Amino acid sequence: MFTVSERDQLRRDLVNAADTDPRVVGAALTGSAAVGREDRWSDIDFALSIDRELNAVVADWTALIYACGAVSHLDVRRGTVLFRVFLMRSTLQVDIAFWPSSEFGATGPTFRLLFGETNHLPPSGQPDRAELIGLAWLHGLHARSSIARGRGWQAVYMINGMRDQVMSLWCLREGVNAVQGRGLDDLRDADAFAGTLVLSTHPDELARAFHVLTGLLLGEIDEPELREAVRALSPAAGAQR
């Protein structure tokens, strides 16, 4: 398990590496460290502005992080920006964002420029409400069929996915962060979802959790025809409302 001092030292080393790499024309801290909200469990979030040889920079920095103790990584792309997420041997997470310099800038409040110049970028938005509703009923369709087919673990998977979307809808309604569950603990009544947790793969238990969750989804739908279709997925849920 990493210590705070180990995390801070690695971040200083990365900042120094960015400052001495001529291909890196800007750098910023992102995440909790950018706004003074780090705690014992915070990871390292670091953004680099690259003006040339982007692929070479990614390769060289990947080698650097592995030399510092990385054991694996995964890539997340948003447009032309690559977010490479590293798992260190110490279990510290290190996120390095590689931005073309023409697009480098803050998309939210958790951005603190260390050096270089930024571009004016539109802020990152909340998830789209209609898309969340669509994903919720889609998971609900597959939850229903999985239960009917006796596919218990698939049903658990679909119910869990459905819950994620409905919880995000609650976050939107209450005006808290709906991304990656970050605002869930700020909801006024998140305990309402306790009944949606699946306690076993027994068909009756799956149906019970699905009924409760469908009822919560109905509360987020305004369109009458869609409400009726969703209610039909789990009639007992409609009766609960």
Q: What is the pLDDT of residues 6-26, one digit of tens each?
A: 999 999 999 999 999 999 999
Q: What is the pLDDT of residues 47-81, one digit of tens each?
A: 999 998 899 999 999 999 999 999 999 999 999 99
| pTM, 2 dp | 0.82
Q: Are 217 and 162 in contact (CB under 8 A)?
A: yes
Radius of gyration of the chain (CA): 22
Q: Are 213 and 158 in contact (CB under 8 A)?
A: no
Alpha carbon 4 to its chain's center = 23
What is the four-CA torsion angle of 59, 109, 126, 182, rounded to 10 degrees?
A: 80
- Which of 1, 8, 31 is closest to 180 using CA atoms? 31
Q: Is the pLDDT of residue 241 over 50?
A: no
Distance in angstroms (rounded) separating the CA atoms of residues 147 and 149: 5
- pLDDT bin (cut points 50, 70, 90) of residue 40 is very high
Q: What separation, in Å, do the N-terminal and C-terminal C-alpha atoms of the chain show?
A: 47
Distance in angstroms (rounded) separating the CA atoms of residues 80 and 191: 39
Distance in angstroms (rounded) separating the CA atoms of residues 203 and 26: 55
Q: Are 207 and 223 in contact (CB under 8 A)?
A: no
Distance in angstroms (rounded) separating the CA atoms of residues 167 and 174: 11
